[in-house]
Structure 1
Amino acid sequence: MNAKVIIYLLGKISAGLAIAQLLPLLMSVVYGEYATSRTFIFSIAAAIILAGIFDYYGDGKDARNLSVREGIGTVFFSWLLAAALGALPYCFDGILNPAAAYFESMSGLTTTGATAIANLDIVSRSLLLWRTLTHWIGGIGIIVLFVALLPQIAGGAVYLFNAEVSGFSNSRILPRIRTTAVALFYIYLLFTIILTGMLAILGMSTYDAVNHACSAIATGGFSTYNDSIAHFHSAGIEIVTGLFMILAAGNFALYYQVTQIGLKVLWHDLEFKSYIVLLTIFTVLISINIIMVNGYSVADGVREAFFQVASFGSTTGYVSADYDQWPSFSKLVLAVTFLTGGCAGSTAGGIKVCRFIVLLKTVMAEL
C-alpha cells in the first residue's frame, strides 16, 4: 500500500475542511461574534498547516491509480481526520472538552445526531452553523465530495466512491465515476436549496431554514433549538420537513434516473416502493393508536404520527411532540421504524430496506 498517496489525499481533505469553515467564519463577523471569529481563524490555520504538512510528505503522482487497499485506507483515515479537524472549533471556543468535541464532530459527520451540548441557547450562531455543516458534509460523504471536486483523480476514484457509498450495489449511474459523484452532489444540493426556500416561506428565519434544511437532507437531526422542530409549532413546517426527510432517505442514484426517465422509475424500484409502503403502514398504525388512547384529534394524530415516522424512518431524529407519552405500541412501532432505516444509496442509517427485501426473498426461495 502506497502510504504517500493516502497522505497526499488527506492533505486535500484538510484543505477542504479549512475552506468549509470560511462560511461560519464570515457569519461570525457579520453577527459580531468576534470571539467565535478567532475560534474559526485558529481552526482554519490548524487545518491549513496540517494540509501543508501532508502535501509535503505525500505524493500525488500515483493518485490516478489507487488500489482497493489505498481507497479503503483513505476513506478510513479521512473520517478520523475530518472528525478531529471538525472538533477544533468546539475546543477553541471552550464550549466542549477535547473528548466531547471529537464526539460532537464525529456525530455530525456520521449524521448520527447525538450531542454532547446540554444547552444550545448558549452556543453562538456561527458555531451552530458549523455544527450543522458537519451534518451536511458528512451526509453526501466527504469522499464523494472529494471525488466530485478533484478531476485529477480518475481511475483510483472508483475505490474511494465504492468505499464510501453504502448498500449492495456499487453500480455507477453514469459512465465516469467523477461524473457520477458530481451528479449526486448536485441533486443533494438542489434538495437542500429547495427545502431552505420552502422553510423560509413557511416562517423560518433564513438562518434557521438553512440549518434545518442541511440537517434534514443529511438526515442528521441537529437543530438550533433544544426542542427541535417542536419549537416552531407549525404544521406546514412539519409536513414539508417530513416529506424531505423521506426523500433524503431514498436512493440518490434513483433520483438521477428520475431526471432522465421520469417519475415512473420510483414506482418500478422495489426498494423505494417498499420503503414508502412501510412508512404508510407505520403512520396509520400509530395514528390509530394515539387517537384512540391519547385522545388526539384525527388531524393532529395523523400529523404527529407522520412526522415522527418520517423522522425515525429516515433516522434523522427530529421531534415534533413528546412521543415518550405515547402508548407502548406506538413506541414499539417507532423502534422498528428506525431499526429498518432508509434505502441504500441514501444519507439515512439503519439496516436499510434492501437488506430486508433480500432476506425475505431468500427465505421465500428456501421455503
Structure 2
Amino acid sequence: MRDFLIRPIRYQAVAKYLSKILIILAALQLAPIAVSIIYQEFSLTVIYLILTLFIFTIGYFGDKKLPEVDLDIKEALVLASFIYFILSLIMATVWTFAGLPFLDALFEAMSAATTTGLSTLPIESLSQTMLFTRSFVQWIGGLSIVVLTISVLIGPGTTAYRLFTVSIGETKVSPSAIKATKILWRAYAIITATCMLAFYLSGMDLFQAGCQAMATISTGGFATEKESFAAFSSVAIISCSLFMVIGATNLNMFHPLNKTHLNIFKDTQWRVLIICIAVLMFIFFLGMIETCSWKEAIYKSFFQTVSAQSTSGFSTMDFAKAPALSKLSAIFSMSIGGSIGSTAGGIKIYRLVIFIKLLYILVIRIHQPKEVITHLRVNNIALSREDIEAAIVSISLFILTVLVSVTFFVGAGYNFLDSLFEVVSATGTVGLSTGICSPDLSEHLKIILFFDMWMGRLEIFPFLILIYPRTWVKRRM
C-alpha cells in the first residue's frame, strides 16, 4: 500500500490510453453533429466539427507516437477519474462557443458526464441539439466511456482488466474484460432501445423518447421538459419507474455468462434494493399524506422514491414544497443508491449490506464465546478484511464529503435540510433539487456541487488519488 501511494504515475502510460479515449470521444461527437444537422442548428454543427477534428488529431497522433504499455492500478484510477473532466470540458467548450457562460456550461457538462442531472440552466433556453447532448453524454457516462474504449480500442491484457475493474466495480462473471465490456454494452443498448420503444408507445415523440430513454437507463435524469416527467402520461411514468429499477440493478444480472442472471430474486443486492424502496416509499408517503389525497400521495411517493433510490433524479413534484419527512426519506434513498455494477450512484446497496451485517456480527459476538468465528458473507461469498475495510472507508468518505459541503450552503444562508438534500443529490449523482440549484446559485456553490458530482461518481477515493501530490511528482530523497 505504501508503494502504491508514493510511486508516481508514468505520464506516457496515462497519455497513451487517454489518446485512445480521445479517439472514441471524437467518434461519439458524430451523434450531436447529426442531430444539429437534422434540426438545422448549423452553428453548432460547425463548432462540433472543428472540435471533433481537433480531438481526433490529438488522440490519433498520441496513440501512434506513444509506446504500448500496461497501466498499473494507480494509473488506471487516475485515467478513469480524469476522463470525466475531459468529457465535461469537451461538452462545455461547445456550449461556451454557442453563447453560454463557461462555468454554467461546465457545470451542466459534469452533471451530464457523471449522470447526476442537476442543472443551473433554464431548460427552455436549450436547443434540440443541446437537449440531445445532455442525455447522450449521460448515457455514455452511465456505463463509462472507459468501458466503451476497452471494447473498441484496447486489446486483451492487464490494462483492460484494471480499467474494467475500476470503471464497473466488483464484477466477476467474465473470462475476459474485453468480452465482458462488449456484452455489457450490447445489453445496455438493447435495454435502452426497449425503454425508448416503451416511451414512444406511451405518447412521447421520437426525440423525447430517445432522450428520456438514455437518461433513464443511465439513471441520469436529464429530461427534455421543464416539468421533468410530470409533463408526460401516467403510462410513461410507470414505464420510467420500471426502467429506473433496471438501471439501478447490477448489469451482470443481464450478462448471459452469469449463471445467476435468471435468478435475480436470489441476488442480495436486488432484494435489499426492493426492500429499501418499499420502506422508504412508506416513509415518504407518511409525509405526503399531510399535503394531498392518499391516491396522489401513493402515486408521488412511489415514483419519487424509485427516482431517488435509483439515483435517476426525475421528478413529478416540486421538492421545494415537499414535507420535511418526505425530504428526509428521499435523502436516505439518494444516499443508499443502487447496486454495485449498475449505473446508479450513492454509497451502493452492496456496501450498505456489508455495514449492516458487520453491525449484526459485532452485536452477536457480545453473547458468544471469543473462540467462535463469524464470517461476513454476501451472496454466500465470504468477504475478506480488505473488502470490509474498503466498504466502511467508502461510506465514511461519502458522509465526510457531504458534511463538509453542507457547511458552505448553510453558511450561505440556506436551511440545513434543503442544503443536505442538495449536497446528497450531487454527491449521490441523483439530480433531484429543492430549488437551490438554479441559474441564481452563486458561483462558489456551483463549484462545490461540481466537485461533489465528480467525487460522487468516482466514489471519492479515486479522486483523492488524482489530487494526491505524489501521484504526479516523485518524492525527493
Scaled by the length of structure 1, the TM-score of the pair is 0.91
Q: Deviations over 1:113-167 (max 9, x none)?
A: 12232x222221012211111101100011111111225243321111112123x
- Tell me the residue number matched to 1:141: 144
Cα pair 2:96 2:105 within 8 Å, conserved: yes
Aligned-residue offset at 1:243? 1.2
Q: Aligned partner of 2:152: which letter? A: L
Aligned-residue offset at 1:241? 0.4
Instruction: Please state if 1:210 is matched with 2:182.
Output: no
- Tell me the residue number matched to 2:12: 4
- Tell me the residue number matched to 1:85: 90
What SS class does the counterpart of residue 121 from structure 1 fall into?
helix
Structure 2: gaps (5+ residues): 1-8, 364-477
Cα pair 1:13 1:82 within 8 Å, conserved: no
Equivalent residue for 1:342, pick from 329, 338, 341: 338
- Tell me the residue number matched to 2:49: 41
- Tell me the residue number matched to 1:311: 307
Instruction: Please state if 1:14 is matched with 2:22.
Output: yes
Query: Residues of 2 paired with 1:180 and 1:52: CA distance?
Result: 26
- Tell me the residue number matched to 2:39: 31
Q: Aligned partner of 1:144: which letter? A: V
- Tell me the residue number matched to 1:296: 293
Aligned-residue offset at 1:260? 4.8
- Tell me the residue number matched to 1:132: 135
Aligned-residue offset at 1:326? 3.3
- Tell me the residue number matched to 1:329: 325
Aligned-residue offset at 1:267? 1.3
What SS class does the counterpart of residue 185 from structure 2 fall into?
helix
Query: Residues of 1 paired with 2:151 and 2:36: CA distance?
Result: 29
Aligned-residue offset at 1:176? 0.8
Identity %: 26
Instruction: Please state if 1:164 is matched with 2:161.
Output: no
Query: Residues of 2 paired with 1:258 and 1:250: CA distance?
Result: 17
Q: Aligned partner of 2:87: which letter? A: A
Aligned-residue offset at 1:21? 1.2
Structure 1: gaps (5+ residues): none
Query: Residues of 2 paired with 1:217 and 1:360: CA distance?
Result: 28
Instruction: Please state if 1:71 is matched with 2:76.
Output: yes
Q: Aligned partner of 1:341: which letter? A: G
- Tell me the residue number matched to 2:285: 287
Query: Residues of 2 paired with 1:238 and 1:191: CA distance?
Result: 17
Cα pair 1:287 1:305 within 8 Å, conserved: yes
Q: Aligned partner of 2:79: which letter? A: T
What SS class does the counterpart of residue 32 from structure 2 fall into?
helix
Q: Which has the higher helix share?
A: 1
Cα pair 2:173 2:257 within 8 Å, conserved: no
Count the aligned residue pairs: 355
Cα pair 2:141 2:218 within 8 Å, conserved: yes
Q: Deviations over 1:57-109 (max 9, x none)?
A: 422x22xx332233223223322322222222212211x22333222212111
**Given the superposition, is the C-alpha separation of residues 289 and 84 from structure 1 closer, same or farther in structure 2, using an over 3 Å criterion?**
closer
Equivalent residue for 1:275, pick from 270, 273, 276: 273
Aligned-residue offset at 1:360? 1.1
Q: Aligned partner of 2:223: which letter? A: S
Query: Residues of 2 paired with 1:21 and 1:189: CA distance?
Result: 18
Cα pair 1:313 1:338 within 8 Å, conserved: yes
Higher RCO (CA 8 Å, separation ≥ 6 residues): 2
Aligned-residue offset at 1:180? 1.1
- Tell me the residue number matched to 2:252: 253
Q: CA RMSD in A?
A: 1.9
Query: Residues of 2 paired with 1:186 and 1:258: CA distance?
Result: 13
What SS class does the counterpart of residue 156 from structure 1 fall into?
helix
**Given the superposition, is the C-alpha separation of residues 69 and 12 from structure 1 closer, same or farther in structure 2, using an over 3 Å criterion?**
same
